[in-house]
Amino acid sequence: MSDAVVLDREDVLADKRSLFSLPSNTVYLDGNSLGALPTACKQAAQAVVEHQWGDDLITSWNKHQWIDLPSRVGDKIGRLIGAKAGQVVCCDTISTNLFKVLSAAIKMSPERKTIATTKDNFPTDIYMAEGLLSLLGDEYRIQFIDENDVASQLHDDIAVLMLTQVNFRSGRKQDITAVTAAAHEKGILTLWDLAHSAGAFAVHLDEANADFAVGCTYKYLNGGPGSPAFVYVAERHQARYQQPLSGWMGHSTPFAFSHEYTPHDSVKRNLCGTPGVIGMQVLDAALSVFDNTDMALIEDKSAKLQAYFLAKLEAHGLAESFTLASPAAAERGSQLAFSHPEAYAICQAWIDKGVIADFRAPDILRVGFAPLYLRFADIEHAVNELALIVNNKTYLRSQYQVVNDVT
């Protein structure tokens, strides 16, 4: 009996795999980019399209509480990221939500002119900050800081510290509690991007005294491609939080159709246009896979899966073929990153063998671990296939050198 079989038998989350619709003969190691499909999502999509929309038409806004979806789904996400009810709302995209929060945070600290972030932050976060600064004037700036030593680089002119908790390339994880405390000592507001955190491990926004957070739902939350994002605004900030995209759904009484904008007195003021009901209903169903599950168990299994992957890599003599680009276990999220000059081609050859991972420029083979549906047997099989590809130099074949539009 292999050690993988034993570990899978001991896995307290093993039953969760049955909640997903997974293709046969495939090992999915890219849940950090797009989560797998929960079976409940199929049923939810059919119900909202055929019955709620098809039969009940516009009455569904009340009959099926479509109007409450952003708050209801937001609170479900809040429970997974350590936020009590009324602080998370589901809406728009992560980029749009970043713009809202940055705008509001800058306004809350008008004497400060700097947004601090890391050079290797996910590019869209930096792009959105640059776009905002182009509207604010030349006195505002972005300061790039070293993610390995955030606290020592903070100063009194920083209005907002915008960080992604888990680096999308390396998997390095920031300590939200420690970094937030260091920022608050300097009077700095914190904005956390939880794209690679929510649903992957335990996050404690309220305990950390975080100010703001945004995140997507199509990765570890399994909401589907392009599923709506979320915004967290700490309750203590909601009264004076003013974001500029003042759409009608963020109004205190949207169906009064007032000529003047009066924002809702809660996190709901982040709402803009009409919510995408179909996508949000599917996301609502997807979140059910986390029911009655402690995020600490998910985090623990993620650590074990990663350790098992590294051990199997070592056993196959592959540890010297790849340079581990991720930090130590205590300092990383739910992924491993390896640098290799042929990382893209190796990834394509691996996919061709039924093991789906992904590549990040310039030379990173990225392996994601979604504990709810990954088995230790999957890891064992994946590394076996990787060893064959590397040892036989299969990746040198011409078809694996062709770069796709999406990598």
CB distance 244 to 218 below 8 Å: no
The pLDDT tens digits for 305-354 are 999 999 999 999 998 899 999 999 999 999 999 999 999 999 999 999 99
Predicted confidence at residue 59, as pLDDT, reads 98
| C-alpha span between 332 and 311 (Å, rounded) | 17
Judge whether residue 407 has pLDDT over 80: no
Q: Which of 16, 172, 219, 332 is catalytic?
A: 219
- Return the closest-CA partner of residue 342 out of 389, 308, 379: 389
The per-residue b/e assignment along 31-41, b for 16 or more CB within 10 angstroms, e otherwise, is bbbbbbbbebb
pTM check: above 0.75: yes
- Across the chain, mean pLDDT equals 97
**CATH for the 45-290 domain, from 1.10.3720.10, 3.30.200.20, 2.40.50.140, 3.40.640.10:** 3.40.640.10
For 134-192, how does the pLDDT look when each residue is reduced to its tens digit (9 = 90+)? Answer: 999 899 999 999 999 999 999 999 999 999 999 999 999 999 999 999 999 999 999 99
269 is catalytic: no
Does the annotation count 122 as an active-site position?
A: yes
Is-catalytic flag, 149? Answer: no
pLDDT at 1: 61
Catalytic, out of 212, 218, 309, 395? 218
What class, spelled out in words, does domain 3-30+294-400 have in CATH?
alpha beta
Number of residues written out for the chain: 407
Q: Is 141 a catalytic residue?
A: no
Listed by start position, the domains of the chain span 3-30+294-400, 45-290
Strand 335-339, strand 364-368: pairing? antiparallel
Q: What is the pLDDT of residue 405?
A: 87
